[in-house]
Amino acid sequence: MIFKKEHLLLQKAVRKFAEEEVLPYAAEREKEGAISRDLMEKLARYKYTSPIVPKEYGGAGADYTSYVIIMEEISKKCASTGTFTTAAASLVSSPLLNFGTEEQKQKYLTRITSGEAIGAFGLTEPGAGSDAGGQTTTAVLDGDSYILNGRKTFITNAPIADFAIVIAVTERGKGVKGTSAFIVDMNLEGVSCGAHEDKMGIRATETSDLIFENVRVPKENILGKEGQGFKIAMHTLDTGRIGVAAQALGVAQGAMDEAVKYSKERVQFGKSLSKFQDIQFKLANMETKICAVRALLYKTAEMKEAGMSISKESAMCKYMAAEVANEVAYDALQIHGGYGFIKDYPIERIYRDARIMSIYEGTSQVQQMVIAGSLLK
- Domain with residue 152: its CATH number is 2.40.110.10
Number of domains observed in the structure of the chain: 3
- On whether both 156 and 69 belong to a single domain, the answer is no
Average pLDDT over residues 323-341: 98
Distance CA 222, CA 219 (A): 6
- 328 three-state secondary structure: helix
Residues 343 and 330 in one domain: yes
Please compute the mean of the pLDDT values over residues 256-270 and round it to a whole number.
97
**pLDDT tens-digit readout, 79-95:** 999 999 999 999 999 99
Q: What is residue 135's three-state secondary structure?
A: coil
Mean pLDDT of the chain: 96
203: helix, coil or strand? coil
Residue range of the domain that includes 104: 5-118
Query: CB of 256 within 8 A of CB of 208?
Result: no
pLDDT tens track for 91-131: 999 999 999 999 999 999 999 999 999 999 999 999 888 78
**Is the model's pLDDT at 263 over the cut of 90?**
yes
Query: Is there a single domain that holds both residue 322 and residue 333?
Result: yes
Sign of CA dihedral 130, 131, 136, 142: positive
Q: Is the pLDDT of residue 132 over 80?
A: no
Percent of the chain scoring above 90 in pLDDT:
95
The reply to whether 361 belongs to the active site is yes
d(CA 99, CA 95): 6
Question: For the residues 44-61, what does the mean pLDDT come to?
Answer: 97
pLDDT at 315 over 80: yes
**CATH number of the domain that residue 14 is part of:** 1.10.540.10
CATH number at residue 326: 1.20.140.10
Question: How many CB atoms are located within 10 Å of the residue 103 CB?
Answer: 9
pTM of the model: 0.95
pLDDT at 102: 98
CA-to-CA distance for 208 and 284, rounded, in angstroms?
40
Beta bridge partners of 147: 140, 216
Of 79, 118, 106, which Cα lies nearest the Cα of 220?
Answer: 106
60 and 183 in a single domain? The answer is: no
> Residue 175 — very low, low, confident or very high, per pLDDT cuts 50/70/90?
confident
Task: Examine the domain organization and report whether 78 and 11 are in the same domain.
Answer: yes
Q: Exactly one of 125, 206, 258, 361 is catalytic; name it.
A: 361
Domain end, chosen from 180, 212, 230, is at: 230
Using DSSP's 3-state secondary structure scheme, residue 198 falls into coil
Q: Are residues 135 and 224 in the same domain?
A: yes
